[in-house]
Amino acid sequence: MKKTLERFALNGKRALVTGSTQGIGLAIARGLAESGASVILNGRSSEKLSAAHRELSAEGHTVESLAFDVTNPNSIKAALASLTESGKHIDILINNAGIQRRAPLLEMTLADWQAVIDTNLTSAFLVSQAVAPSMIERKSGKIVNVCSLMSELARPTIANYSAAKGGLKMLTRSMCAEWAKNNIQINGLAPGYIETEMTKSLVQDEKFDSWIRGRTPSGRWGCVEDLVGATIFLSSPASNYVNGHLLVVDGGLSAVV
């Protein structure tokens, strides 16, 4: 039993979680830390970053913070250079940063389209491109791209988000195609409808809430903790022969009509 559980241990590993000051990112960061990893938090707001840092540190975890803009190559480069200068490398990269800007397609502005594509898709390209060389050099690494149920299914008013998350699924497979030979495992995590700040307005919408509870075989919204086990699996030696895979955590929603 003990040997099997050790496959999920992350002791001695350093994980960077983008967009980890709240919601899914913070829950994933906490789960990685509880599994033994030292965690680097990231976010745009230094206030939220400090608060998340204090929260996880108070729980006894080894936490660092890197405030950089995941859509800005220079910001990413400067942040990672500061890590390298202190002799640190990233073993596990969780590309989680994501926003939502809902609008009917005919009314969607280019700004709302571009902001979602930049934050939810291009960021994973930029941060992974900056982190991968060190993983390739060390012939070891884990990249988890936080995709979505919307990587596979669409609904009205979220074309930007669905296009980004669909692209992220294929970027995951493309990373697998080019980097897996270096003992790097790149996989996608696809959350279903999870209660977070991003979905708060949907949860509070009685009609939408009722539809989700009826449409989801598990009969409930997911919570951020529902995603931690799958992320630990994809970040640990337990998944060393899993690559290019999209691990769906959606209460069964995408399995049924």
Catalytic residue ranges: 161
Q: Is residue 97 within 8 Å of 25, Cβ to Cβ?
A: yes
- Residues numbered 189 to 218 that lie near ligand GCO (CB under 6 A) are 191-193, 198-199, 202
- Work out whether 161 is an interface residue with ligand GCO (CB under 6 A): yes
- CB 139, min distance to ligand GCO, A: 33
Are 35 and 232 spatial neighbours (Cβ–Cβ below 8 Å)? Answer: yes
Cα 165 to Cα 190: distance, rounded to the nearest angstrom: 9
Per-residue binding letters, 83-112, with ligand GCO (x by CB under 6 A) = -----------------x-x----------
What residue number has its CB nearest to ligand GCO?
A: 149
Q: Report the alpha-carbon distance of residue 153 to residue 237 in Å, rounded.
A: 30
Binding mask 46-85 for ligand GCO (x = CB under 6 A): ----------------------------------------
DSSP string, 35-51: TT-EEEEE-S-HHHHHH
Which residue from 246, 134, 231 is spatially nearest to 182, judged by alpha carbons? Answer: 134
Residues that bind ligand GCO (CB under 6 A): 100, 102, 148-150, 155, 158, 161, 191-193, 198-199, 202
